[in-house]
Amino acid sequence: MIIPSIIAKNQKEFNKRFEKVKSFSTFHLDIMDGKFVKNKSLNFNFKLPKNKKFEAHLMVKNPKTWIKKHGKKVNSIIVHYESNNIEKLLNKKTSLAINPKTSIEEITPLLKKTNKILVMTVTPGKYGSKFLSSTLKKIKELKKLKKTIEVDGSINPSTIKRVKNSGATKFVIGSYLQESKDVKIAIKKLK
């Protein structure tokens, strides 16, 4: 499943980016507070289109605060293992994200609380970062644990094959789609 990601500094930018990929049914919102990662994105009171599904990827220091304020706007939430106090936040609506340097051993106690793991295949925080091949091993390890594996970061026609062969089934794609001249052609190249 391909899930387009959206990074935006204001509602106008969000609307423009959404318009480009609106044919999809599910969207990945990159929420950044400028503290957990250097960038800021969707850190305003954004409005979302109706009849679409949205997952919020929280790259924030304190996910609990964001969830209290905006959690009802989205269908699902992804919190980073590396954020503060996340153990009590994991449930059916909330899943776990891990950075490239985080080991499977570190997250093992939390794996019982979630069915989906988002593996960052880049250092998080901006569009266009370099794909880290070292994450493929982590994807293979998680596949053995029978978890749904979503990948995020530098997914394009060459990297999607590698992560798919390693066990990922959901693919978050940002810059590749946003920078394409024709989204329909770009999607065909991913298959």
- Catalytically active residues, by annotation: 30, 152
Virtual CA dihedral for 120, 121, 123, 126, nearest 10 degrees?
-90
Nearest to 94 by CA among 125, 62, 51, 58: 58
User: How many CA within 13 A on the CB side of residue 61?
Assistant: 7
Tokens at 43, concatenated = 């850190």
Question: Can you tell me the distance from the alpha carbon of 162 to that of 65, in angstroms, rounded to the nearest whole number?
Answer: 36
Residue 110 and residue 81 in contact, taking contact as beta carbons nearer than 8 Å: yes
> Token match 């989204």: residue?
183
Question: Can you tell me the distance from the alpha carbon of 54 to that of 163, in angstroms, rounded to the nearest whole number?
Answer: 22
**64: buried, middle or exposed (CB in 10 Å: 19+, 13-18, 0-12)?**
middle
> Token match 């340097």: residue?
101
